[in-house]
Amino acid sequence: MSEYQGVLHRYSEMLHLPPGTRPITLLEGNTPLIPAPRLAEQLGGGFELYIKYEGLNPTGSFKDRGMTAAISAAVGEGARVVICASTGNTAASAAAYAARAGLRAVVLIPQGKVAAGKLAGAIAYGAQVLQVEGSFDDALQIVVEISQKHPICLVNSLNPYRIEGQKTAAFEICDRLGTAPEWLCLPVGNAGNITAYWAGFRQYDALRGTGLPHLLGVQAAGAAPLVLGHPVERPETVATAIRIGRPARGEQALQAAEESGGRIIAVTDEKILSMQRLLAATEGIWVEPASAAGLAGLAHEIATGRLRVRSQRVVAVCTGHGLKDPDIVIQWVSKPLSIPPRIDLLEEVLAL
């Protein structure tokens, strides 16, 4: 039977999951790798650019790849309750997969700093949502402690099965292109995803000789601990998904970037937001702000001559859907113009 059954099924022999894992899936993964020739032209041209559009996963972000693995392992191990700290997308994903598995889900979010579509998701899927008076990093610290003290399964990307599931995005890119691209650019927050991509590309290369990409990890300038070389106490950025000052997998991310012959850089919020607009306007792909960070970093490196991509293939990972954070876009314009339903007025407005 060739029907698609989700990432655990498709790549079962590649993933290290505990015996007894009981697959809980929403048919995540299998997301499109969309050519973006108009945007590539805007960035200088002469190379192939592809968008791995992870916003098309069931709950609107790549988090579903890791969550299907973490929740499936948790069910196999007899867990009844799962918990996570989240900037939003992990919360929505954990809530959805826990609902499907019949588990209780508890999610902790930093107060007032979570995009509307993500909070709505977590509530809709029936999780118990708690706001922490502090940052994501504060929330993560207490969920780690409580999961050590009580029989509650932690499903943050410290959970190794999250990384296992998230490797599947690298496998899909290699399956689609035949080999790894020369460069992969992506946003970096808690640094689980860049860690997972690198593990995935290395595993595929060892098995099938698909080669390795250079990694360009991109942080927001106001939340760039891996670029500064020290934790950031009060991270600030419009890209709330990467508003993290103490990345749990920071060391691994730095090591992955270095091993790949790539690097981790930071870009301003202004550059992130203008890339979000450019991508939507030139390619019809609307992503949340954090998801545009990888491309904003790529554009910056090309424009400053630090990156040469002539004749190469570049994949930009767009991690979450634009619908997650509608408020940002509504701020782009003042209210739409109102007109009475009259054709003469419409003609006037359209200058016809």
Ligand X SMILES: *Cc1c(COP(=O)(O)O)cnc(C)c1O
Residues in the site for ligand X, rule: CB under 6 A?
61, 63, 89, 157, 187-193, 241-242, 288, 290-291, 319-320
Q: Cα 84 to the chain's mean position, in Å?
A: 16
Between 114 and 278, whose beta carbon lies closer to ligand X? 114
The residues with which 104 forms a beta bridge, in sequence order, are: 81
Give the span between the Cα atoms of 352 and 349, in whole angstroms.
8
Beta carbon of residue 22, minimum distance to ligand X (angstroms, whole number): 25
Beta carbon of residue 45, minimum distance to ligand X (angstroms, whole number): 27
Between 72 and 93, whose beta carbon lies closer to ligand X? 93
Between 47 and 276, whose beta carbon lies closer to ligand X? 276
Give the span between the Cα atoms of 118 and 124, in whole angstroms.
10
Cβ atoms < 10 Å from Cβ of 255: 13
Beta carbon of residue 303, minimum distance to ligand X (angstroms, whole number): 23
Q: Which residues make Cβ contacts (< 8 Å) with residue 136, sequence separation at least 6?
A: 85, 86, 87, 109, 110, 113, 190, 235, 243, 244, 245
Q: Would you tell me the crossing angle of helices 192-208 and 250-259 to the nearest 10 degrees?
A: 40
Beta carbon of residue 311, minimum distance to ligand X (angstroms, whole number): 29
Residue nearest to ligand X (CB): 320
CA distances from 33 to 161, 172, 239, 281, 294 (A): 24, 9, 23, 18, 15
Between 6 and 187, whose beta carbon lies closer to ligand X? 187
Between 106 and 223, whose beta carbon lies closer to ligand X? 223
Between 47 and 296, whose beta carbon lies closer to ligand X? 296
Nearest residue to 62 (alpha-carbon basis) of 329, 326, 324:
324
Beta carbon of residue 60, minimum distance to ligand X (angstroms, whole number): 9
Between 237 and 319, whose beta carbon lies closer to ligand X? 319
Beta carbon of residue 149, minimum distance to ligand X (angstroms, whole number): 24
Beta carbon of residue 51, minimum distance to ligand X (angstroms, whole number): 14
Backbone angles phi, psi at 299, to 5 degrees: -60, -45
The pairing of beta strand 33-35 with beta strand 48-53 = antiparallel
